[in-house]
A and B are shown apart, each in its own frame.
Chain A
């Protein structure tokens, strides 16, 4: 059904794979769930649009499988793949910034959607922080692509992450303040993004009206 396409952003897959995914959503026990999770992870590492919302389809499949036969084959495979990619993240970053950024986006999205008893998965907290801390390193701050990824994730899951581990969030923001103040090579875009996220967190993970206007309104000359 067309809703699935829109909701889960699976347009980028070929038709056969789309069919596989749709079946997984409805009748998970009839498909090879290991294959399904690999398909989803592989695409998330390539396609930035997909990686931003892939957590959602993952959540639905996990729920469907649990309801159907109390299984967790899909989640097990997904988390195993994620863990492998996480361990290899530095090499990934060196090989392809795009893939690295997609990975971070994907793991954060999984953190956002795959809740257990309405709580985020504790197992993912440290890995997600590790990724964000990496993005806050001086060499990453020089790449707009990485800064953009960093602030996007903080907008989406910053408040949840802080609840899970406030100390780590403080640590991250020390780096961001330092980065903003001390890095000389930062582009103006990067500085803008960092300033906005600093204000965003200071405002309790939301922007005041005036700040919103400053950052997001069209400038009329």
Chain B
């Protein structure tokens, strides 16, 4: 029966078609942890043959990830077109700069004729990092509190412009700093808990707590409903001592004894 052959040709087509494979490249865990920009995927086999299979078998791809990658690709392409228009506008009339919000990019105006980042893979990776940062309660509170026209450079966090040319290291650093700044708008973990901390604890301990920013979990999906890691389990925070506070309690005990 030729069904076996059909299966194999399907898989080979999947492998040959870049889009099916590319969600491996979008694995943000490795992206965020890896410092070098090289194509990791070149060392991971795209397909392999096991004794039981009739032919090459592709890496496991799940449909949802493929769909999310496609969605991101379309939105990045859309952004690219919009950005290109802004470059043209900058070339032909700085006064005509488009002030409409709704663009997910930074409000950096493009310098006329500057070279923009066009590599889709890079853009998608950057967009994913931006989406993680924006998908938080802190960011939500930030944009509600500070409208765009009232943002002060330096004081208020500004989304890095994914279309500008930066080295990998420079970009990752910008993202890191941006996320740290956004944490200033983290919602309080519990009513009055911050006041408690100041009353009961040494100033040194307070400094330690504030610098201990929880990193957004890179494994979580880009679209998880907005959650700040600080208040990851709302139910728990109303029962007993929050884990953060427990650490303080023990250190206070040590101080006291």
Interface residues of A (CB under 8 A from B): 29, 69-73, 75-76, 79-80, 82-83, 116-117, 121-124, 126-127, 130, 133-134, 137
Contact = CB atoms under 8 A, between A and B. Distances in A.
Contacts of A71: 223-225
Contacts of A121: 63, 66-67, 70
Interface of B: 1, 3, 6, 10, 13-14, 19, 62-64, 66-68, 70-71, 74, 135, 221, 223-226
Contacts, number: 58
Contacts of B71: 116-117
Given A117-B71, A130-B10, A137-B3, A122 B66 contact: yes
Nearest to A117: B74
Contacts of B13: 126
Nearest to A29: B225
B215 to A, nearest CB: 21
A83 B70 CA distance: 17
Is chain B's interface secondary structure helix, strand, loop, or mixed overall?
helix
B66 A123 contact: yes
B67 A116 contact: yes
Given A75-B64, A79-B67, A116-B70, A70 B225 contact: yes
A137 B70 CA distance: 32
Nearest to A133: B6
B221 A76 contact: yes
Shortest beta-carbon contacts, A-B, top 10: A123-B66, A79-B63, A123-B63, A79-B64, A76-B64, A72-B223, A69-B225, A71-B225, A117-B74, A83-B63
B97 to A, nearest CB: 28
Nearest to A114: B67
Contacts of B14: 126
B223 A123 contact: no
A75 B67 contact: yes
Contacts of B68: 72
